[in-house]
Amino acid sequence: MSKKLVVVALAMLVLVGAMGLKTVVAGSGSGAVLMANGGAPAPPTPWKNGGAPAPPTPWKNGGAPAPPTPWKNGGAPAPPTPWK
């Protein structure tokens, strides 16, 4: 049993070391992905398909100006908060 615990501790140590090394190597993190098997040319990452510009978010429909928030009625200046 104690030998298995030693193995578990060593495995966790290796995992911590590997993740620490990865963090050091990744540096500022430019989003590069490590590809290490075979000689095939590496494609772009799956979540970065092509060079097309990103579309607008789905909840931004059309180019109309955003309406005032529901709790901001009228154009009067906002009063100070009640607890100040």
Partner 1 sequence: MPGPLEFFIWCACFVLEVSVVVCAIRGKVFRRYLPLNLYMAASAIGDVLRFRILFHYGFTSKEYIYFYYYSDALLTIALYLALISLFVHVFRELGAEKYVLFGACFLLAGTALFSYLVIQQSTTKLVTHFVVELSQNLYFVGLVLTYVLWGAILKLRETRAQLVQLVLSLGIYFSLFAANYAIRNLYPPVSPVAIALLQVLGCFLPGAWAYAFLRLSSHARLTPSNLAVIPR
* Site residues for partner 1 per CB under 8 A: 3-4, 7-8, 10-12, 14-15, 17-19, 21-22, 25-30, 32-47, 49-50
- Min separation Cβ 77 and partner 1, Å: 38
| Residue at 44: amino acid letter | P
> How far is Cα 55 from Cα 32, in angstroms, rounded to an integer?
23
Indicate the residue among 39 and 79 with the shorter CB distance to partner 1: 39
- Min separation Cβ 44 and partner 1, Å: 7
Residue 51 neighbours by CB under 8 Å, 6+ apart: none
- Chain centroid to Cα 41, Å, comes to 26
